[in-house]
Chain A
């Protein structure tokens, strides 16, 4: 089933596919990432399987994608794995099927246990989703075993 739903994507330069994806991320990908000046930018091109009844990208898909970009920002900034505690999202405009969408996060502050992150998801023409989240920082020794 997943093969039939694979969407042929053209990818902007500098992005590499996240091949370590599994489960939900793999089933709803492929997702891509680019590192630029030490920050991570994630990208994906939504296909028909990401649409809602209005024919635009489903809000849950956008939420999952921005969440992943914000979690990655924590890792690249603080070198700590993190799981989402809280995520607050504002839907600013529609995500179009077939457009290249990008998402990135910025760590606004943190202590030993929690990081505050601002996130932004945008298409070629306009902002799509704005996010603000709190991420629980996992201990440096602990392998990834909670929700990410």
Chain B
């Protein structure tokens, strides 16, 4: 498996916790970093571009960008407004602003535009360094009741512990 070398603070998102891989694990590995509440870095998703994420021309596939942007909207937007539920996507619009290439580290951030009782409106950006590669907007449904808590997704804190190393 190719090496991802995520920047400091990024932890692997464990979507399936031991059961068979679903789409988010299948396309990944996807990482997330948690930052200060109320900042644009409160929830940042990241991934390294590998060949299996690319189009025939060798750039990052639009389908991969859309898949990650979808997740950034529901997980990142949901986190910012304190919703730990699975939010099904109702509608999304994507503008493919610039390409990304093999080996790039891509980050995704969400900005909550408005929350109603049943809907969450977000804007989403994917970036490589300072360059924006995708602009997206999303409307997600907020299910009534408790719903599913992000499915099984958790940040892999074990990796964080391992990275810090055990004291000698």
Contact surface of A with B, Cβ cutoff 8 Å? 5, 20-28, 48-54, 57-61, 63-65, 67-68, 83-91, 144-148
Inter-chain contacts of B68 with A (CB < 8 A)? 60
From A22, which residue of chain B is reached at the shortest CB distance?
B56
CA distance A59 to B90 in the complex (A): 10
Inter-chain contacts of A24 with B (CB < 8 A)? 27, 52-55, 61, 63-64
* A85→B95 contact, CB < 8 A: yes
CA distance A57 to B22 in the complex (A): 9
CA distance A60 to B27 in the complex (A): 10
Inter-chain contacts of B23 with A (CB < 8 A)? 49-52, 57-58, 60-61
Query: What are 10 contact pairs spanning A and B, CB under 8 A?
Result: A23-B54, A23-B58, A50-B26, A52-B24, A59-B92, A60-B71, A61-B23, A64-B66, A146-B57, A148-B62
* B70→A60 contact, CB < 8 A: yes
* A5→B26 contact, CB < 8 A: yes
**Dominant secondary structure at the A interface:** mixed
Contact surface of B with A, Cβ cutoff 8 Å? 15, 20-24, 26-27, 51-64, 66-71, 86, 88-96, 99, 148, 150-153
Inter-chain contacts of A59 with B (CB < 8 A)? 67, 70, 88-89, 92
Inter-chain contacts of B52 with A (CB < 8 A)? 23-24, 26-27
* B26→A89 contact, CB < 8 A: no
User: Quick one: given A27-B52, A67-B63, are A144 and B57 in contact (CB under 8 Å)?
Assistant: yes
Kindly provide the distance from the CB of A54 to the nearest chain B CB, expressed in whole angstroms: 6
Inter-chain contacts of B93 with A (CB < 8 A)? 86-89
* B56→A144 contact, CB < 8 A: yes
Kindly provide the distance from the CB of B15 to the nearest chain A CB, expressed in whole angstroms: 7
* A27→B66 contact, CB < 8 A: no
User: Quick one: given A60-B66, A60-B67, are A90 and B91 in contact (CB under 8 Å)?
Assistant: yes
* A86→B27 contact, CB < 8 A: no
CA distance A148 to B62 in the complex (A): 7
* A67→B57 contact, CB < 8 A: no
Kindly provide the distance from the CB of A135 to the nearest chain B CB, expressed in whole angstroms: 10
CA distance A89 to B138 in the complex (A): 10
Which of B71, B89, B152 gathers most chain A CB within 10 Å? B89
Inter-chain contacts of B26 with A (CB < 8 A)? 5, 27-28, 49-50
Among B62, B96, B153, the residue within 8 A (CB) of A53 is: B153
Inter-chain contacts of B56 with A (CB < 8 A)? 20-23, 25, 144, 148
* A91→B89 contact, CB < 8 A: yes
Among A52, A84, A88, A144, the residue within 8 A (CB) of B151 is: A52
From B25, which residue of chain A is reached at the shortest CB distance?
A49
Inter-chain contacts of A144 with B (CB < 8 A)? 56-57
